[in-house]
Structure 1
Amino acid sequence: MFGYQPFRWHQERWPVLVGILLLLALYVPYGWLVQEAYFTIHDFLDDSSYQFGPLVQSGQAFRFGADAVVPTIMNGLPRSAMHSGLYVSVWFFALLPPFWAILVNFLVVHLVGLVSMYVLQRQYILNRPGEQWLAVGVALIFALIPAYTNYGLSVMGQPLLLLAFLQLLYRRLSVAAWLIILGFPFYSFLVRSGLYMLIGLALLGFVQGIRSRQFNGPYWLGLVLLAALYGLVDFPMIRAYLTGQFVSHRSEYNQAALVSAKLDNGLSHARLMFQYGQYHAGTFTTWPIAYLWLTRFVTGRWRGLPLWLMAIIGSICLLHGLYPWLLSQAGANKRILTIFQLDRFYFLLPFLWTLLLGLLLAEWAQLLEGWSRSLLLLLLGGQLYLTLTHNTEWLTNARMLVGMPQPARSPSFRAFYAPDLFRRIRQSLPQPTASYRVVSVGMHPIVAQSNGFYTLDSYQNNYPLPYKHQFRQLMAYEWAKPTAWPIRPYFNAYGNRCYVFPAELRMNALVGKTDKRVVNNLAFNNKAFRAMGGRFVFSAVAIKNAASLGWRQVGIFNDSDSYWQVWVYEVPPV
């Protein structure tokens, strides 16, 4: 890097304040639209594992015993299969209504990303006089990357964690560094980025130790402490795995059945990862940074940290692209590769790309003088524009704010969860809701879960394998149809989405009321459904053969605020 400069808040407060105000101004659509705002649905609003409302509603969020279960999901999902109640993200849902929990968490995560990236740039990279606004631009670009905020600081907190460990690495011990290390595992996920940050920090400490020929006790103590606290936070999950509390459905993961293991396909995926990143970590356009990196060769500067960073970025992309091929070559030894998904180093990519951008700007700022430095601000403006316009969530809300029509498959928060509609449904059905189970068709199960229903279907990253086999019996006849061929391998080899997928809808669980599709001939195992405690089917489409299945139509429910029109059917005892 370019040397260390102590960060003095009294000197930097105006650039930091301007950066925060710009970030908040760009996120005005969320606060202005409130519950009419759109949030990403895929793996965010639809995912029980990371959208913590149903967990808190169940009363099991802060249960840690091995026998604890979440009764509202999958007939009693083991509590250890879901994320720990020690996560700050869960606390937001315990303290605030669901929408405000999501919005407050969203803003906190992005603000931490902005401020910590700015401090990192000013301390180690863009730290010369006059480079404050370049640092603001880099920090703003990083904070606007659409990382999944339900993972807490897993992505946006990486500059903060690196700042703490750089203090230890260069033996500038401070209380703040230790407090960051102590708190970080409570607001980030081990299985998302935690494991990969630990590996990266260990490599950094190892390289520095070789160069200095000294053992840095505080640094390695900090790393051990970080790993131990991650273990503490996720202790129920780790205990369940080590003790064999239940056999996970993940033991049947077969990535080869879902993604081609051919080398040419792997290289193609690696190229896409290099260009755009991975959507959970945050997608953004990287080609301006890559081209700026190539200019180093034109000016004869090709060595140094930017070269190593690009090599790391390229290696991460290659690992992800070639991971299916590696699994195919591992044979019986692939269990560890399947469980931990070691290609998830891609969670480091947004941070690494932005770090590289700062380093490249610092090099060019040394070469350019006077007005020509404004070219760097123009480059930052272009990267900022590309970051915003490739953020589908932000773009949808910005268009809604200025009165442009909302995309048909982008329901607002309120329309997606439809609380008023499901209140009417709940009032029309027997009470209490704990006395029966439901499944959804053409609609994500979390909608019913969030509205107080006990669901047999769910989207879970970890649940007992026998339940997967039991649930498959509901749809065995339907998925035996030739037209259901994409669903069979998807469920058998993956199974996270334990959904009722009719062949006629394929794997569409976002069928809005403006969609005129119907299911003409659903094959459904009533006996297996009732044996699991099932009684009602909530369908976003009309099921034309409901009568021949023996189902009784309870009613059709609709209102102006809902994304859905819901047909409610009762399945009789067999």
Structure 2
Amino acid sequence: MLKNKAISIISFFLLMQLIFFIIIGENSYLEIHDNLDSVIVWLKNMRDYKIFWDFNAKVPMLNGLNRNYFPSEWQIQNIIYYIFPMFPAYLIVYFSKIFLGIFSFFLLCKELGKEYNKELSLLIGFSFALLYGYTGLYFAQVSIPLIVYFLLKLEQTKNKKYYIYIFFYPVLSEFTRYGIFILGFLTCFILYQLIMKRILKKELIIALIILSVGYILTEYRLFQVMLFSNEKSMRSIVNLGEGRNFFKVTIGTFLGGQYHAQSLHRYIILPVCLFYFIKELKKDKFNILKFLSKIEVQLFIFVILNCIICGIYEKEWSRNIIENIIPPLKGWNFSRTIWFNPILWYVLFYLIVLKIKNKKTVTFLVIGQILLVIFKPTYSNDFGNTIYNNFFKKNTTMNYKEFFSEKLFNKIKDDLKYSNEKSVAVGFHPSVLNYNNIFTLDGYHNAYSLSYRNQFRKLIQPELELNENKRKYFDAWSGRAYIYSKDIGYEPIKEIEQKEINLNIDKKQFFLLGGKYIFSRAKIKNFKELNLKFINSYSEESSPYIIYLYELGENNER
């Protein structure tokens, strides 16, 4: 039933999404968490301030964080943001990752045994490529099948051209959240062959070295900061403590995956797998060894192991072991092996569906999974969430245009004759100011300098003394260096209760850090005590914000 229809089906859904995004434009509901509040704005700032290629330049957030703490200029996804304006770049990345994911999955499927079905590999590859997660690493997420394909072909053919492909692969990937695991898995495979089969393939050893060098060269800034900088990272004091229940996390990730690398496997793929395993176990007359020898079962065990690792990460003792053995990995999240489960689930799905003889069943399962991935409102499903927010839900969250409100902030900057003075945000994400090219003392970054973390903590200490939840949150991680207030959150909702708040900051520290302006979504009741001067309130018809602007007065040394 699907014969010769894969390209038409894929083209239909892609064209539907493209037309939709062109019509909706910047009124689309793009993911804010770990997206518009961070990486997208980092890339915009580096482009706008012409420091994308610079070494040791200052990015205008977190009081001028060093450029070397930000994403590499050699990764293709980042280059797209350098070349194109933000919203078009975002869509180019989204559609490019779909094509890259289909291509990668298609190539890998050709190497997965004698049986091969082009239509199935394209359609299941399409559903894999559509998957959502951490948008800043979309290319890394969908290109995992590509590096596996390169390694398999190198092992089979020994053709030296694959060394070149492997060397350049890191421009599609990222080291700390994907590369280090790929290198680890490859090392384990080499050791497995050596110990269990008494085979040592020099091609894979060379590939391991070449891939490592590729990552080091592509992300030389990361390695410079991590290994050769005298400046400590705030990750060196990350203390997450005892986490969630091991069994709840393990079972939860098995059933639902992890939101930064979603698999959406629970409703169709998982039942198909379980039905197949029961059937095969009966067919093998419960011969466990024969059952375990099947590649589908081995991939399923890999999935389960990744879920168990995710559960183990929640235990403080497990993180301490890693940190004591390899100190530079302090704060590293080794539970991200779970980010490899999406490709495992979809390869499993492909291998099992390949064996189903009923064509109508195959069509129902494959098309059903595509529809599920496209339309289910979930983290970073910008297409599904835009439909949901526009047609099925009371509009309380902000879309892209509203979140950044360029007209409003341009109006404020024009009124101030703004000239790169340092500012902070109260009641909204600092990335909104950064996007509008306003220099901030606050910001969101997962690995900025420890010295600045301590300086910023002094600034917000008066609030942390009153707000135990935020004190625990900031001291455990410190990634969000925000001006917290128990009276107002920073969630991007359109309407907030209009009330006056007490702002609890160290006014002397604000002065010492060079702060001048405070942009707030609420009136500050104690502004005079903080030696602030109220300038004006600002609003704009297309923006949900009302911004109350304050300026630091004179005589702030006490």
Q: TM-score, normalised by structure 2?
A: 0.89
Aligned partners of 1:285 and 1:541: how far apart in 2?
43
- CA offset digits 1:525-571 (Å, max 9, x no partner): 21110111101101122223334433222111111222322111112
**Corresponding residue to 1:324 among 299, 310, 314:** 314
* Equivalent in the alignment of 1:251: 236
* Equivalent in the alignment of 2:408: 421
Aligned partners of 1:317 and 1:338: how far apart in 2?
21
- Is it true that 1:398 corresponds to 2:387 in the alignment? yes
* Equivalent in the alignment of 1:79: 67
Contact 2:453 2:478 in 1 (8 A): yes
What amino acid is aligned across from residue 408 of structure 2 in structure 1?
L
- CA offset digits 1:375-394 (Å, max 9, x no partner): 12212233333333143433
What amino acid is aligned across from residue 265 of structure 2 in structure 1?
T
Distance 1:407 1:79, change over 3 A: same
Distance 1:185 1:486, change over 3 A: same
Give the fraction of aligned pairs with identical amino acids, expressed as a percent: 23
Q: Return the offset for 1:102.
A: 1.4
Distance 1:33 1:383, change over 3 A: same
- Is it true that 1:439 corresponds to 2:439 in the alignment? no
Contact 2:263 2:341 in 1 (8 A): no
Aligned partners of 1:184 and 1:540: how far apart in 2?
45
Aligned partners of 1:34 and 1:397: how far apart in 2?
11
More moved, 83-92 vs 416-425: 83-92
* Equivalent in the alignment of 2:109: 121
What amino acid is aligned across from residue 383 of structure 2 in structure 1?
W
Q: Return the offset for 1:340.
A: 2.7
SS of the equivalent of 1:376 reads: helix
Contact 1:513 1:540 in 2 (8 A): no
* Equivalent in the alignment of 1:375: 361
Aligned partners of 1:541 and 1:329: how far apart in 2?
40
- CA offset digits 1:339-368 (Å, max 9, x no partner): 332221112111111111112212x33xx3
Aligned partners of 2:41 and 2:148: how far apart in 1?
25
Contact 2:80 2:93 in 1 (8 A): yes
Contact 2:40 2:136 in 1 (8 A): no
* Equivalent in the alignment of 1:231: 216
**Across the two proteins, how many residue pairs are aligned to each other?**
538
- Is it true that 1:59 corresponds to 2:39 in the alignment? no
SS of the equivalent of 1:306 reads: helix
**Corresponding residue to 2:273 among 288, 293, 306:** 293
What is the 5 A alignment of 1:149-160? Answer: 149-160=135-146
SS of the equivalent of 1:555 reads: strand
Q: 5+ residue gaps in structure 1?
A: 1-11
Distance 1:385 1:21, change over 3 A: closer
SS of the equivalent of 1:440 reads: strand
Aligned partners of 1:275 and 1:357: how far apart in 2?
15
* Equivalent in the alignment of 1:8: none
* Equivalent in the alignment of 2:288: none
- Is it true that 1:571 corresponds to 2:558 in the alignment? no
Q: Return the offset for 1:192.
A: 1.3
* Equivalent in the alignment of 2:202: 217
- CA offset digits 1:193-214 (Å, max 9, x no partner): 1111222233334445667654
Aligned partners of 1:222 and 1:329: how far apart in 2?
29
* 4+ residue segments displaced more than 6 Å: none
Q: Return the offset for 1:181.
A: 1.9
- CA offset digits 1:141-193 (Å, max 9, x no partner): 20121132311421111111111111112126374x44532332112210111
Aligned partners of 2:361 and 2:247: how far apart in 1?
34
More moved, 335-344 vs 99-108: 335-344
SS of the equivalent of 1:182 reads: helix
Aligned partners of 2:189 and 2:486: how far apart in 1?
50
Contact 2:63 2:442 in 1 (8 A): no
- Is it true that 1:135 corresponds to 2:121 in the alignment? yes
Contact 2:537 2:548 in 1 (8 A): yes
SS of the equivalent of 1:537 reads: strand
Q: 5+ residue gaps in structure 2?
A: 285-290
What amino acid is aligned across from residue 284 of structure 1 in structure 2?
L
What amino acid is aligned across from residue 540 of structure 1 in structure 2?
R
SS of the equivalent of 1:486 reads: helix
More moved, 43-52 vs 238-247: 43-52
What amino acid is aligned across from residue 533 of structure 1 in structure 2?
G
More moved, 202-211 vs 550-559: 202-211
Aligned partners of 1:50 and 1:553: how far apart in 2?
28
**Corresponding residue to 2:130 among 138, 144, 150:** 144
Contact 1:29 1:37 in 2 (8 A): no
* Equivalent in the alignment of 2:287: none
SS of the equivalent of 2:524 reads: coil
Distance 1:415 1:221, change over 3 A: same
More moved, 333-342 vs 389-398: 333-342
What amino acid is aligned across from residue 24 of structure 2 in structure 1?
L
Contact 1:114 1:140 in 2 (8 A): yes
Aligned partners of 1:86 and 1:245: how far apart in 2?
24
Aligned partners of 2:456 and 2:207: how far apart in 1?
45
Distance 1:523 1:562, change over 3 A: same
Distance 1:545 1:476, change over 3 A: same
Aligned partners of 1:192 and 1:548: how far apart in 2?
45
Q: Return the offset for 1:229.
A: 0.8
More moved, 133-142 vs 387-396: 387-396
SS of the equivalent of 1:59 reads: coil
- Is it true that 1:278 corresponds to 2:264 in the alignment? no
Instruction: Please report the RMSD computed on the Cα atoms of aligned residues, expressed in angstroms.
Output: 2.6
* Equivalent in the alignment of 1:557: 538
Q: Return the offset for 1:22.
A: 2.9
